[in-house]
């Protein structure tokens, strides 16, 4: 038993060290990297120049709500700046519902930049950004940054043209119902020429840029993201979640029109979104640089014909009414921003089924060796299910209590969201241990600690495997946060059987580290996206991390 205790102690120390390391790495890699203060390369995107474009476009900080004096002035500044850049543009005027729910005149601005090939034949890639804002604030982040990045990209493409022509669309009336994008797709003769779209938007004023939505061909989009190795964060989990949300951007219109492409946005400091605080002083220049650099790389790659951009032959068979459903054919996610991992959805299903098979075979083998029991494993699965319910209920009650107390502004407190996020994670981590610890003590009274440990470990991972299987079929793009730890846990289990490890401590260590690596980069995103409004969901995340490390927290003799 002394060796078992020593093994468990070493495993706990290993997990603790990795926990600190992963948290530090996730924090450092969450924010965009700094960029040089000057950029002499006229062909490249320069964050410094884009910030200057933003300063000029936002000007005196007047809101740009449609049909307002600030909107008209911004429209004129945009026209003047395009003329200074030497860009050829046309305008599309249309009528749509404004903020006072009456029809007002709006204007789209379309720029066409000739490509280096001089073919001038579709399909063309289109870069899109809306230039209106809500009446409540100046809209420096939403969507002044998108406009500034598009202007700097226009300058870079004029200096060094892409392979084929590029269209840049500045839409109007996005905030009142995506009117500019709708009018372009329905009425503009250039819409049938668009083969792919890259859209720039925001729901905050700083933080990393996310590629949170793509076109229908998931495999092709994931392959392109992996090949470009952009600094932006990308995950099919966000695309899967956004598809189920009522929100929409201009890219929603392009997607319904069957166009492939990428939707980029940043969501840091969401308290500034659609408020008077959305000023240029609150915009992070690193975010501007990351968005523009990534967008230019995507535009150049698509313009060169890289998939998912359709070929000329494929494009010739399209009609303006073509609509493509999301096929969810791929899973992708960036690993701390260093690279993008990807695989096909069918592989997820195969891995889940293989994991369940290995767990079942291992349970049978351990039963023969009297190191695990069927009833003990079933109880281990049940206590995980009970713990998850307790965690979700406790976190939800916590959010309700904060909301009713009035002491904290939800979903994003004035000071910081992190104290609340950590508190809810700890609530979930503690809640999951309540049934686990109670049942573990009862197991130790009736069985050897080795048997009790394997019961807890196998039961926990069988429960997670079943949940993962359900997600793999229902929401394939969201499966990797559970699938990666599950696969690592199964691999560790195979090693344990081959090496005849007496306890699952190192299996728990390996699976726990895998869970930390996958979940830690997502935590800041969840905090920015949901704040403290979904305490139950946050508590569940804390509970899942602890489950992955079972039975390191169970009592041992």
Kindly write down the DSSP assignment for every residue of 198-237, as one continuous string.
EEEEESSSEEEEEEEEE-S-HHHHHHHHHHHT-SSEEBHH
Question: Which of the listed residues 298, 327, 356 is the one where a domain comes to its end?
Answer: 327
Examine residue 240 and state whether it is found in any structural domain, yes or no: yes
Question: What confidence tens digit (pLDDT) does each residue in 245-256 have?
Answer: 888 899 999 999
Percentage, residues of the chain above pLDDT 70: 94
Q: Which pLDDT belongs to residue 35?
A: 82
Q: Are residues 72 and 19 in the same domain?
A: no
Confidence check: pLDDT of 450 > 80: no
Question: Which of the listed residues 293, 327, 361 is the one where a domain comes to its end?
Answer: 327
**Confidence band (pLDDT; 50, 70, 90) for 316?**
confident
**Confidence band (pLDDT; 50, 70, 90) for 363?**
very high
Question: Which of the listed residues 300, 327, 354 is the one where a domain comes to its end?
Answer: 327
**Confidence band (pLDDT; 50, 70, 90) for 553?**
low
Question: What confidence tens digit (pLDDT) does each residue in 505-524 have?
Answer: 899 999 999 999 999 999 99
Examine residue 49 and state whether it is found in any structural domain, yes or no: no
Tell me the residue range of the domain where 196 lies. 62-327
Question: What confidence tens digit (pLDDT) does each residue in 143-159 have?
Answer: 999 999 999 999 999 99
Q: Are residues 17 and 129 in the same domain?
A: no
Q: Which pLDDT belongs to residue 8?
A: 82
Instruction: State the CATH number of the domain containing residue 229.
Output: 3.40.630.10
Structural domain tally of the chain?
Answer: 2
Examine residue 228 and state whether it is found in any structural domain, yes or no: yes
Q: Which pLDDT belongs to residue 449?
A: 52
Confidence check: pLDDT of 540 > 90: yes
Q: Are residues 74 and 140 in the same domain?
A: yes
| Spatial contact of 358 and 490, defined as CB atoms under 8 Å apart | yes
Question: Cis omega before residue 76 (within 30°)?
Answer: no
Q: Which pLDDT belongs to residue 441?
A: 60
Q: Are residues 241 and 351 in the same domain?
A: no
Q: Are residues 371 and 498 in the same domain?
A: yes
Q: Which pLDDT belongs to residue 1?
A: 46
Q: Which pLDDT belongs to residue 246?
A: 80
**Confidence band (pLDDT; 50, 70, 90) for 90?**
very high
Examine residue 45 and state whether it is found in any structural domain, yes or no: no
Dihedral sign of CA atoms 388, 393, 399, 405 in order: negative
The rounded distance, in Å, linking the Cα atoms of 388 and 373 is: 23
Q: Which pLDDT belongs to residue 323?
A: 47
Examine residue 487 and state whether it is found in any structural domain, yes or no: yes
Examine residue 454 and state whether it is found in any structural domain, yes or no: yes
Examine residue 334 and state whether it is found in any structural domain, yes or no: no
Region 440-462 average pLDDT: 71
Region 115-134 average pLDDT: 94
Question: What confidence tens digit (pLDDT) does each residue in 406-435 have?
Answer: 878 888 887 788 889 999 999 999 998 888
Q: Are residues 9 and 135 in the same domain?
A: no
Q: What contacts 24+ positions apart, CB below 8 Å, involve 42-46?
A: 42/156, 42/159, 42/160, 43/156, 43/159, 43/160, 44/156, 44/296, 45/149, 45/152, 45/153, 45/156, 45/289, 45/292, 45/293, 45/295, 45/296, 46/152, 46/289
Q: Which pLDDT belongs to residue 556?
A: 45
HEC assignment per residue over 397-435: HHHHHHHHHCCCCCCCCCCCCHHHHHHHHHHHHHHHHHH
Q: Are residues 384 and 315 in the same domain?
A: no
**Both tokens assigned to 376:** 């003990």
Q: Which pLDDT belongs to residue 241?
A: 86
Q: Which pLDDT belongs to residue 451?
A: 66
| Spatial contact of 156 and 45, defined as CB atoms under 8 Å apart | yes
Examine residue 555 and state whether it is found in any structural domain, yes or no: no
Q: Are residues 132 and 259 in the same domain?
A: yes
Q: Which of 236, 436, 266, 241 is nearest to 343 (CA)?
A: 236
Q: Are residues 447 and 485 in the same domain?
A: yes
Chain-centroid distance, C-alpha 459: 31
pTM comes to: 0.92
The rounded distance, in Å, linking the Cα atoms of 18 and 513 is: 7
Q: Are residues 144 and 227 in the same domain?
A: yes
Classify 437 as helix, strand or coil. Answer: helix
Q: Are residues 257 and 288 in the same domain?
A: yes
Q: Which pLDDT belongs to residue 139?
A: 97
Region 151-172 average pLDDT: 97
Q: Are residues 534 and 408 in the same domain?
A: yes
**Both tokens assigned to 450:** 């080795």
**Both tokens assigned to 73:** 């002035």
Region 227-235 average pLDDT: 90
Selected residue with higher pLDDT from 121 and 129: 129
């Amino acid at each position: 038993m002394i060796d078992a205790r020593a093994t468990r102690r070493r495993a706990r120390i290993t997990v603790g060290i990795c926990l600190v390391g992963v948290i530090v790495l996730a924090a450092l890699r969450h924010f965009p990297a700094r960029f040089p203060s000057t950029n002499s390369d006229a062909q490249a995107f320069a964050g410094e120049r884009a910030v200057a474009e933003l300063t000029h476009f936002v000007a005196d900080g007047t809101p740009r709500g449609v049909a307002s004096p600030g909107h008209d002035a911004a429209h004129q500044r945009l026209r003047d700046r395009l003329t200074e850049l030497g860009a050829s543009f046309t305008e599309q005027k249309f009528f749509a519902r404004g903020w006072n729910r009456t029809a007002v005149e709006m204007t789209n601005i379309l720029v066409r930049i000739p490509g280096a090939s001089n073919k001038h034949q579709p399909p063309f890639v289109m870069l899109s950004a809306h230039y209106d804002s809500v009446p409540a604030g100046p809209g420096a982040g939403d969507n002044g940054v998108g406009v500034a990045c598009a202007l700097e990209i226009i300058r870079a493409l004029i200096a060094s043209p892409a392979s084929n022509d590029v269209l840049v669309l500045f839409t109007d009336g996005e905030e009142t119902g995506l009117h500019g994008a709708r009018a372009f797709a329905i009425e503009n003769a250039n819409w049938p020429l668009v083969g792919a779209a890259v859209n720039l938007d925001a729901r905050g004023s700083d933080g990393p840029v996310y590629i949170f939505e793509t076109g229908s061909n998931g495999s092709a989009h994931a392959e392109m993201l992996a090949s470009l190795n952009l600094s932006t964060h990308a995950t099919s989990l966000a695309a899967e979640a956004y598809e189920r949300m009522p929100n929409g951007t201009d890219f929603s219109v392009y997607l319904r029109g069957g166009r492939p492409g990428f939707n980029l946005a940043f969501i840091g400091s969401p308290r500034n979104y659609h408020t008077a605080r959305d000023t240029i002083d609150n915009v992070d220049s690193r975010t501007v640089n990351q968005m523009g650099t990534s967008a230019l790389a995507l535009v150049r790659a698509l313009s060169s014909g890289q998939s998912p951009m359709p070929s000329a032959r494929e494009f010739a068979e399209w009609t303006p009414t073509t609509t493509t459903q999301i096929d969810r054919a791929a899973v992708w996610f960036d690993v701390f921003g260093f690279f993008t991992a990807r695989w096909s959805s069918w592989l997820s299903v195969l891995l889940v089924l293989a994991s369940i098979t290995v767990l079942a075979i291992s349970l049978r083998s351990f039963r023969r060796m009297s190191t695990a029991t069927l009833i003990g494993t079933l109880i281990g699965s049940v206590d995980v299910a009970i713990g998850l319910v307790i965690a979700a209920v406790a976190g939800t009650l916590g959010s309700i209590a904060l909301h009713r107390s009035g002491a904290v502004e939800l979903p994003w407190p004035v000071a910081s969201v992190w104290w609340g996020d950590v508190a809810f994670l700890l609530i979930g981590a503690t809640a999951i241990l309540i049934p686990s610890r109670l049942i573990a003590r009862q197991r130790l009274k009736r069985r050897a600690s080795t048997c009790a440990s394997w019961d807890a470990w196998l039961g926990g991972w069988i429960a997670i495997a079943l949940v993962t299987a359900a997600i793999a079929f229902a929401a394939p793009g969201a499966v990797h946060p559970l699938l990666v730890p599950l696969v690592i846990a199964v691999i560790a289990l195979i090693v344990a059987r081959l090496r005849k490890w007496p306890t699952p401590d190192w299996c728990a260590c390996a699976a726990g580290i895998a869970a930390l690596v996958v979940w830690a980069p997502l935590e800041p995103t969840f905090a920015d996206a949901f704040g403290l409004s979904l305490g139950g969901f946050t508590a569940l995340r804390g509970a899942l991390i602890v489950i992955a490390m079972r039975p390191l927290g169970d009592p041992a003799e």
